[in-house]
Structure 1
Amino acid sequence: MLRTAPTTLLGTVSSLGATSGVANVIQQLALPPVGEGVSESRVVSGSPRRYPMKRARTTGQYLALAVAGNDEDRAVMRAAIAEVHRHVRSGEHSPVAYNANAADLQLWVAACLFRFFVDQHVLLYGDLDRPALDTLVEQARPLATGVNVRAERWPADWAAFEDYWASMLPRLAISPEVRRDFESLADLGFLGEAWGLPGRILSRVLGPAYHFMTRGNLPPYFRELMGWQWTAADQRRFDRALTALRWADRLGNRVVLRTVYRLYVADFRLRRRLGLEVLGRLRVSDLMVRDGGGRRRIARERQVDRSR
């Protein structure tokens, strides 16, 4: 067990974080305007269903800049994200109203990202004391300001963060459409849509284990929203996985993961120097990604399904 509490978000990074990405996405998207916005998105260039490796890179870079970048890096990323989010707005037939640049929605996303860092440490190494949590809350402010949330809206300390988190839970809900999206992320089924046969093979081989770890990383409240069961046997199996991940940390994986964060920052700065778009070329489809936007074959299949 680690003896020293982390004083930075980078210090919370652990082997468990490699298994908890989708669990954190579920928390973010459980707020209906966020979930429906992603489910209805037409931004092909930012979708894991089309470009999973690119999406992993850009998400990783956002997190890395928040914890290891500088103000200039974050300002460039903030502008790029705002431009992408400008194309994510509710339409006439959307189940809820949403605007991806709305500060209220982005504050929730930032709060979930903060939990991504804190929870991976706590699950592996135990609870942090209040001073350590207060320090991490302050360290996490760039997660919010990076998506155009004013700095003063971020909670001042852990008590304020807990109050905010508790106030948001009654607002959470997961629609059947969004739940299907989550299932395909958790079992890696979306890789088949992105990569065809190789993706389906990866999903078949790795999907069951990743689905299990996603369920294990989710707080019970969110598992209930998903309708997922969690038994005592599941918890024992998850505890064994945590033991293995602690050993991975001791054998150097934490150092590797922190190096990856720093490489994300270096890659971001290199892209800027080369004049490349940091999030890549923006592509927006007339169709929602889930209906085949960016993939003619999938769009035709969806049309056939609806005609039956």
Structure 2
Amino acid sequence: MAGQVTIRRPQNMRRAPTTLFDLVTTLGLTSGVANIIMQLSLPPVGYGVNESRVASGSPRRYPIKRARTTGQYLVVAVIGTDADRDLMRAEIAEAHKAVVSEPDSPVRYSGNSPELQKWVAACLFRFYLDQYTLLYGELTEPELDVLTRAAEPLATGVNVRARAWPTSWAEFARYWESRLGDLAIDPPVRHDFETLSDLEFIVEAWGPLGKPFPMLLGPSYRYLTRANLPAEFRDLMGWEWSERDARRFERVKSVLRVADRFGGRAYVRAVYRIQLADFRIRVRLGMPVLGPLRVSDVPIKDGGAQRWITRHLTG
């Protein structure tokens, strides 16, 4: 796992973490794309997204909506009730029905494959573990055992059976190691990752209106994506990582520890609660929590479901 040193935890984090909510830090605000790269480095998952025709769930068409729905999936898994999770699970399963490989796809995949979704859930578990351990150092094995069991809703929320999820850290670590040899990033999927990490995907969604994001924020976010990515995944991407990069990241982490101490972590946790409230309001109003399902006849990567604003502003 990613943490290398033990840092004194803030006063409000002194007790051992027992839930994923306890692992939330401000560093998690910088590591979303890094975790996506981890998930999609398993080729059937990567090509499932690369060839997707589900426009309503694509960050290349609806980036704000995608951020909301992904965030709410995590929120429901982390602090929601069983009833919340049942509702989210049903909507995700419906959306994933449209994610199925074609005869000419490079690999076979299905969006509802328990085997593939178990890997996605494992990466999401690492999202929480890594953001904590990178800032505050390694956890003990008993602590990790508790957290492994607490992470089960990340898997059952995407239709993985509870009995398929590891019940101890040792079992999780064996599973993780067993999958590393299956990982590969082909050029089409690598291009997807590049445009996510430098925020160019926002231009795909919003046309010229999206250009300020990669221009102003792209270099920094790309760096933070590289920084949060474990070394084996950086190698798959062909990304270099120098001692200078590492020193810079240490400075970033020092700033984020201060931010955690003075309200940053509390802010992130408050956003989780707001997102859960929003989810429940949508349910009470009878709204689909993932929004209306829109599936294009053409894959998104080939221009499917291009939005009006992009078509007209780019001529």
Report if TM-score (shorter chain) is over 0.5: yes
Query: Cα RMSD over matched residues?
Result: 1.3
User: Which residue is equivalent to 1:124?
Assistant: 135
**In the alignment, does 2:272 pair up with 1:261?**
yes
Amino acid at match of 1:108: W
- Secondary structure at the counterpart of residue 221 of structure 1: helix
- Secondary structure at the counterpart of residue 115 of structure 1: helix
In structure 2, C-alpha distance between the alignment counterparts of 1:299 and 1:210, rounded to whole Å: 23
In structure 1, C-alpha distance between the alignment counterparts of 2:73 and 2:307, rounded to whole Å: 30
Contact 2:207 2:310 (C-alpha < 8 Å) held by counterparts:
no
User: Which residue is equivalent to 2:296?
Assistant: 285
- Secondary structure at the counterpart of residue 277 of structure 2: helix
In structure 2, C-alpha distance between the alignment counterparts of 1:157 and 1:46, rounded to whole Å: 33
Q: CA deviation at 1:131?
A: 1.0
Contact 1:291 1:299 (C-alpha < 8 Å) held by counterparts:
no
- Secondary structure at the counterpart of residue 148 of structure 1: coil
- Secondary structure at the counterpart of residue 110 of structure 1: helix
CA separation of 1:71 and 1:297: change in aligned 2, threshold 3 A: closer
2:283 equivalent among 272, 284, 288: 272
Amino acid at match of 2:288: E
Amino acid at match of 2:297: D
Contact 1:43 1:284 (C-alpha < 8 Å) held by counterparts:
yes
In structure 1, C-alpha distance between the alignment counterparts of 2:78 and 2:265, rounded to whole Å: 15
In structure 2, C-alpha distance between the alignment counterparts of 1:20 and 1:299, rounded to whole Å: 28
**In the alignment, does 2:262 pair up with 1:251?**
yes
User: Which residue is equivalent to 1:186?
Assistant: 197
User: Which residue is equivalent to 1:35?
Assistant: 46
Question: 1:40-51 maps to which residues of 2 (within 5 A)?
Answer: 40-51=51-62
Q: CA deviation at 1:297?
A: 8.0
- Deviation digits for residues 42-68 of structure 1 (CA, Å, limit 9, x no counterpart): 000000001001000000000000110
User: Which residue is equivalent to 1:74?
Assistant: 85
User: Which residue is equivalent to 1:156?
Assistant: 167
In structure 2, C-alpha distance between the alignment counterparts of 1:293 and 1:6, rounded to whole Å: 44
How many aligned residue pairs are there?
A: 300
**In the alignment, does 2:205 pair up with 1:213?**
no
Contact 2:282 2:289 (C-alpha < 8 Å) held by counterparts:
yes
In structure 2, C-alpha distance between the alignment counterparts of 1:58 and 1:46, rounded to whole Å: 8
Return the TM-score normalized by structure 2.
0.93
1:234 equivalent among 245, 250, 274: 245
- Deviation digits for residues 172-218 of structure 1 (CA, Å, limit 9, x no counterpart): 00010000000000000101111122311111100000000000000
Amino acid at match of 1:233: R
- Secondary structure at the counterpart of residue 171 of structure 1: coil
In structure 2, C-alpha distance between the alignment counterparts of 1:242 and 1:197, rounded to whole Å: 33
User: Which residue is equivalent to 1:195?
Assistant: 206
- Secondary structure at the counterpart of residue 276 of structure 1: coil
Amino acid at match of 1:162: A
Gaps of 5+ in 1: 301-308
Amino acid at match of 1:17: G
- Deviation digits for residues 110-164 of structure 1 (CA, Å, limit 9, x no counterpart): 0000000000000000000111111110110000000000000000110000000
- Secondary structure at the counterpart of residue 196 of structure 1: helix
Question: 1:58-73 maps to which residues of 2 (within 5 A)?
Answer: 58-73=69-84
1:84 equivalent among 64, 83, 95: 95
Amino acid at match of 2:178: S
In structure 2, C-alpha distance between the alignment counterparts of 1:199 and 1:55, rounded to whole Å: 16
- Deviation digits for residues 220-275 of structure 1 (CA, Å, limit 9, x no counterpart): 00000000000000000111011111111011010110111111111111001001
Return the TM-score normalized by structure 1.
0.95
User: Which residue is equivalent to 1:135?
Assistant: 146
- Secondary structure at the counterpart of residue 88 of structure 1: coil
In structure 2, C-alpha distance between the alignment counterparts of 1:134 and 1:249, rounded to whole Å: 25
**In the alignment, does 2:43 pair up with 1:26?**
no
Contact 2:205 2:307 (C-alpha < 8 Å) held by counterparts:
no
**In the alignment, does 2:174 pair up with 1:166?**
no
In structure 2, C-alpha distance between the alignment counterparts of 1:100 and 1:65, rounded to whole Å: 20
Contact 1:186 1:211 (C-alpha < 8 Å) held by counterparts:
yes
In structure 1, C-alpha distance between the alignment counterparts of 2:107 and 2:197, rounded to whole Å: 24
Report % sequence identity.
60
In structure 2, C-alpha distance between the alignment counterparts of 1:238 and 1:296, rounded to whole Å: 37
